[in-house]
Structure formats: structure tokens, C-alpha cells
Structure 1
Amino acid sequence: MLTVLFWIFVAVVAIQFLYYIVVFGKFSFVKAKKNNLKKIPISVIVCAKNEAENVTKFIPLLIQQNYPDFEIILIDDASSDATLDIFEAYEKEHANVKLVKVVNNEAFWGNKKFALTLGIKAATKEYLLFTDADCYPTSPNWIAEMSSHFTMQKTIVLGYGAYEKIPKSFINKIIRFETVLTAVQYFSWARIGKPYMGIGRNMAYKKEEFFNVNGFIDHMKIRSGDDDLFINQAATRKNTTVCYTSDSFTYSEPKTTYKEWFTQKRRHVSTATFYKSFDKMQLGLFFLTQLLTFILPIILLAFQFQWIAVVSLVAFRYLFSWISLGFGAGKLNEKDVMFWYPIIEIVLIFTQLNMFVTNLFSKPAHWK
């Protein structure tokens, strides 16, 4: 039995090597592509529900973007605070700001996808750039950087949405490490030609891509997934590209407690169950081999079975995974999280396992 477990462990390390070096290497070990800036007309779309404080801080940063031809579509999704009043003031002050007011609809109560659909239809430009109400661009060249990756063939652009750094906060390091790992995964698979997700904090696509798949109609009843489920359905090898130059990043305020973050991530995990079969398989295999990377060595070492070989394989696995993620984190300006990599990875793996089990017995909350 121990011999069987040992060879399973060898296979697990080999699979992990394929993920970290072969797959993730498509992102980690490749330089960011700097494209020539374009002047494509862009509609920036922001959907907000009870975000008065955030929109007051962040919408001015969108208005100040250094780009020749863009409009901002502000969607108020039946807010009960001052969000609508703030949006109306922006619309009066700026000619390129357009307000979309959404009232509660019994058939689509509290459904962000319904609100986004109205905003997309109201956009007058053919190219759409999305971010969230609690996000802000890292540079006045955000629109320019993201739009520069559009071509005649590439009509979907996946960007990176980071979280702010909180000094001396370990939960912040966990959150940012998980964000880096997720980005390395979806950037890498997109570069391979198998895009499976994007993030609503920073992504762009041509309006025709939305209507080609009838918008969110196939997953309208699923409250989450206006970003990743749409990309999972619409993105292909031919129409999708990635943008990860530093000026293209957006930032959000992260959760500050483990409980808040756990609740947030439960929604993301539950949405992944609706991905295409291949995408669920490759994500499931990656997580399973990560989990077995910790469980199998503990069992083998407890019986001192081939302990030199087991320790060597564990060290080898840490070496290539640390190198791969380290290069990826460097591209995303997140190098500091890698100093805590071994500890954070263990916490993250067993947190994800807890999320999966928890979601089996209760449904996570969604849009406000």
C-alpha cells in the first residue's frame, strides 16, 4: 500500500510540474506585450448598488483618464443610499458621462446581470471596458492600455484586478496571493488558447460578443458570474487576449477579516461549478494534486517510507512552484506575497476545501 501511495505521489508531483512550468509558464516566463496605443471609441461601464462612498472617490479617476474618445456609463442598480444622486451630479457636470437608472424588477430582483444588460444596451461605443464601483485604475492610461490589445480578431481582453496592500496584515497577504494565483491561471490558459474566466473588475470586450451569446440569458438565474460565466461562454482561442502591463491594473479595497473574505470567495467557488467540462476538470485536477502534495508526504513520512525520495520530491515541487509563481507575481507587482508562500499555500488549500464543503450544504449570498 505504501508503495502505491509513493508512486501516486510521484505522479502528483509530475502533474504539478506540468501545471506550474508548462501551463503557468506561458504567463510567468513571458514578457508583457506592449502594443501601440489606439484611438478606439470606448464605453467604460460601472454598475453600482449602494456604493456612495466608493463612487465619490473612484469615478473622478475614471473621468480623468487620458484617452481621446470615451464615455462612462454609470448604472445605478436601485440603490437606497446617495449613489443615484452622486451619479446624477456627475452626469450634469460631464458631457461624456451617461446615467442608467435601474428600478427593481420582480423577475430580476437584485440581479446585477439585468442591470449590466441595460448599461451595455445604453452604451454608444462598440468597445466596452468594465470595472466595479469599488475599484480604481492604477494609472490615467488604464483605458489606453486595455484598448491597445483590441485587434480585428481579438475582441475580448482580460485584465488584472489587484487588491490594495495592508501592512502587517497576514489575511491581506492570503487574499493577494490567491488573487495572483487565480490571475496566473486564467492568463496562462488564455495564452494557451483555452480562456475560461475573467474578472469584472478589469475586462473588456466588443459589444457584438455580448449579443453573439445572447448576453447573460443562459445563466441569468445564476446571481453571480456576470464576468467569469460570460467569458467561459464567449471566449475562444481566436477572439481572446490578455493585458497585464502595470498601467492596466485596477485596485480594490480588500476584505479585512478572514470571515468576510471566506464569504466573498464562496460565491466565486460556487460559480465555477457552471464552467465548461474541460475547465472544471483542469481546475479540479490542479486543486486535487495540490491537496495530495501535502497529504501523501505526511502519510509516507509517518511510516518513514522512502523518506529521502519523498523529501526530495517535496523540495523539488516547492522549488519549481515558487519559481513559477514568483515570476508571475513579479509581473503583477505582488512579489512580497511570495515570501510567505509555503504557509499561505497551506492555509489557502484547506480554506478552499472548507469552501467547497460549506457550499454543499448552503448557498452563498450574492449581489447586494
Structure 2
Amino acid sequence: MVLLTIILPICLVLMTSLILIGLKRAFQQTPGTTTSFQNISIIIPFKNEQENIPDLLNALKRLDYPSDKYEVIFVDDNSSDDSTKFLNQNLMDNYKVVLASDKKYPGKKGVIDEGIQNALFDIIAITDADCEPESHWLKSISEKISDRNDIVFGYSPFKEEKTLINKISSFENFRNFILYFSSVGLGIPYSATSRSIAFRKNIYMKLNGYSNTLETLSGDDDLFIREAVKQKLKIATFRYGNDLVYSKASKSFRDYFKRKSRHLKTSHHYLLKHQILLALWHSVNIFSLYSIVFISLSEWFLLSSVVKMVLDLTIVQKVKSKLSHNFKCYEVIFLQPVYETFLIINFINSIFRKDKWK
């Protein structure tokens, strides 16, 4: 029993050190070595996004990138609202709308594929209709993908609101991206987000599109990364300035749990080495979090909880400014246990909930 109370803190310290090393390497990967403006096709899949499209269009207008060097392809997956009508009334010269009437793949993957097939340019950048890219987003992609990288992805935080579900979602997203970025820095990438990802067309073709990622309807990002890892492709992150892609968090706990179960379902199909590493990381953290429950058996269990709290605060304090957050210490003390607990709930939900995009 005493041995366990000593092993847990040691494991936490070692793993946290690796996370911080990975993050340092990931952030050191930027900036890229070229300042040329590459031709980029932005693919934006959507379905019934009339509410979000005006904000997206305003954000796209603020992109600091030559208009003749990029195009925007909106791909409509049979929307039943006036999304497409609104877009057609507000199209710029380098924008177009494509209907995903004959999808090769089910769900969102088929919509993205339809956009790629209609893209004029070699570099494909993907985001979502409820997102708002910052002005230097395309610049960062152009620089980073020019630096001999096959796939690049950036950080996509949630827009902050004064609600509990927003705080929980934002912190969870932040903690997940710490792992995404760190894994790239350590040379073991396993996931990304389609809210801010880019690759070349020939890479997409080399991976046979999404043909090998059809275990779930989701997975257009992390299972795509899985296939890239199999092919030993070079994956990198970018984080300069003004290149974030803001998205909207769930408005309710019901929507949150629905969204998270869909996302976590893809984790069942990660490469075995990634499943083992993630299981080890989360298990040690969760056991350390709840070890205080066993303090009646041994006072040494308090050590694991204290060490975990200190390490959690250390990671957040070191990284939050780089990812444009300002979590207070008291918020971390509350949000970290919620994050760990919801991981368990969401993982269980991902096993039993049915998978669908919209």
C-alpha cells in the first residue's frame, strides 16, 4: 500500500516532465523558414449553420492574405435552413458553394472530400462553419507547411462565455491540446482537430483520402493523423501570433455530452501504442486525484493528491499564455477534477451512444 503511494507521485512527476519537454519542442518548431504566400484552398463543411455563417464570413474578410492566393469552398451537406441562400448572397470573388450531393464517404468526411475534389490549389486548409480564424491563420499555415511538413495543425480555443459549461469545455479543450502539441514534440502524434488543420492534396491521395478511417463517422482529424503516422509522414504544429481558430463551445450539458461521446468514440480506434500511452497518463492522473479517498488507509495517499495538484497548476501556468488563456489558480483547482471525472463519463458514453455528425 505504501509502495503504491510512492509510485504514483513518481509516475506523475516523470510523465509531467515529458509533457513539458514535448510542449517545449512543439513550440520551438515555429516559426517556419519561409515567408512566401502559398496558394491555399480553404474547405468549410456545413449543415444548417445559418446562425454561425455571418460571424465566419466576417472573420474570413479579416484574413491578412492576398485574395488571389486563396479560395474558400463551402460544402453544403443537404442543409434544410437558409445557409446556402445566405452564402450565395454574400459570396466574394474567391468564394464558392458546393453541394455534397454525391458523397464518397458518410458524414462529415464525405463533405470534406467533396470540397477537396473541387479545390483549385494544392494546399488544403480545413475549418468548421462555427469557427472564426484569426487574421494570420493562413500565413502560419503557409509558413509551416512550407517547412517540409506534410500535415500541420494549430490551436482552436473556444470563445469564452460566462457559463459553467463554457468554462468546463474551454478547460477540457485546453488540456486536450496540451497533449496534442506535446505528442508532436515527442514524436508520437496521435490527434489534431479539423477546426485548424492543413495538408497537401498529394498527402490526402497518398493516404487514400478517408478510406481507411471509416470505423466511425467522426475521425476526419485524429484517425486521419493515425493513417499519417502509419505512413511516417511529418506532422507539425503552428502557434505564432493571431493564428488561432476560435470555435463555439456547447451551450448545454446535453449537447456537451453528445459531442464528447462522438469525439471519444474515435479513441477506440487509435493505434495500440497511443491507446496504451493515453490510458497510462489518464489512469495515473485519475488514481492520483481520487487517492485522497483512501486516506483512512494511509496518510501517504494525501501525497499523490497534493503532487497532482501542484503539477496541474504548473502545467497550466506554463502553457496558458502561449495558448491565449488566463485560467486562475482557483479555477484550475476546480476544473481539473471536473475534467478528469468527465473523462470517465464521456468514455463510457462513447461506448453506448450512437455515432452521427449532425
TM-score normalised over the length of structure 2: 0.91
Q: Which residue of 2 aligns with 1:205?
A: 199
Q: Which amino acid aligns with 1:79?
A: S
Q: Which residue of 1 aligns with 2:235?
A: 240
Measured in 2, the distance between the counterparts of 1:209 and 1:251 equals 26
**Secondary structure of the corresponding residue to residue 219 of structure 1:** coil
**5 Å matches for 1:212-251?**
212-220=206-214, 222-235=216-229, 239-251=234-246
**Secondary structure of the corresponding residue to residue 86 of structure 1:** helix
Contact 2:135–2:243 under 8 Å retained in 1: no
Measured in 2, the distance between the counterparts of 1:64 and 1:177 equals 27
Shift in CA distance, 255/146, structure 1 to aligned 2, threshold 3 Å = same
Measured in 1, the distance between the counterparts of 2:27 and 2:146 equals 20
Shift in CA distance, 353/226, structure 1 to aligned 2, threshold 3 Å = same
Measured in 2, the distance between the counterparts of 1:134 and 1:275 equals 27
Q: CA deviation at 1:84?
A: 1.6
Q: 2:109 aligned with 1:119, yes or no? A: no
Q: CA deviation at 1:66?
A: 1.5
Contact 1:48–1:133 under 8 Å retained in 2: yes
CA offsets, 1:216-274, max 9 Å, x none? Answer: 01123521111111112114765111112241101112113222211111111111111
- After superposition, the CA RMSD in angstroms is 2.1
Deviates more, 1:246-255 or 1:351-360: 351-360
Q: 2:51 aligned with 1:53, yes or no? A: yes
Q: Which residue of 2 aligns with 1:330?
A: 321
Q: CA deviation at 1:310?
A: 3.7
Q: Which residue of 2 aligns with 1:281?
A: 276
**Percent of aligned pairs with the same residue?**
23
Q: Which residue of 1 aligns with 2:182?
A: 188
Shift in CA distance, 165/60, structure 1 to aligned 2, threshold 3 Å = closer
Q: Which residue of 2 aligns with 1:342?
A: 333
Measured in 2, the distance between the counterparts of 1:288 and 1:118 equals 40
Q: Which amino acid aligns with 1:140?
A: S
Q: 2:347 aligns with which of 351, 356, 359?
A: 356
Q: CA deviation at 1:165?
A: 0.9
Shift in CA distance, 78/232, structure 1 to aligned 2, threshold 3 Å = same
Measured in 1, the distance between the counterparts of 2:18 and 2:115 equals 40
CA offsets, 1:113-153, max 9 Å, x none? Answer: 1111111111111111111000001x322211222111352
Report the count of equivalent residues: 353
Measured in 2, the distance between the counterparts of 1:132 and 1:39 equals 23
Contact 1:49–1:77 under 8 Å retained in 2: yes
Unaligned runs of 5+ in 1: none
Q: 1:95 aligns with which of 83, 93, 99?
A: 93
Shift in CA distance, 320/256, structure 1 to aligned 2, threshold 3 Å = same
Contact 2:56–2:129 under 8 Å retained in 1: yes
Q: Which amino acid aligns with 1:175?
A: S
**5 Å matches for 1:1-368?**
3=1, 6-27=2-23, 33-35=30-32, 36-68=34-66, 69-91=69-91, 94-103=92-101, 111-137=107-133, 139-151=134-146, 153-167=148-162, 169-220=163-214, 222-235=216-229, 239-299=234-294, 301-303=295-297, 305=298, 307=299, 309-336=300-327, 338-360=329-351, 362-368=352-358
Shift in CA distance, 24/259, structure 1 to aligned 2, threshold 3 Å = farther
Q: CA deviation at 1:28?
A: 5.4
Q: Which amino acid aligns with 1:14?
A: I
Q: Which amino acid aligns with 2:97?
A: L
Shift in CA distance, 313/347, structure 1 to aligned 2, threshold 3 Å = closer
Measured in 2, the distance between the counterparts of 1:99 and 1:230 equals 25
Q: Which amino acid aligns with 1:41?
A: N
**Secondary structure of the corresponding residue to residue 157 of structure 2:** strand
Q: CA deviation at 1:57?
A: 2.2
Measured in 2, the distance between the counterparts of 1:244 and 1:337 equals 22
Q: Which amino acid aligns with 1:200?
A: S
Contact 1:21–1:320 under 8 Å retained in 2: no
Measured in 2, the distance between the counterparts of 1:337 and 1:203 equals 29
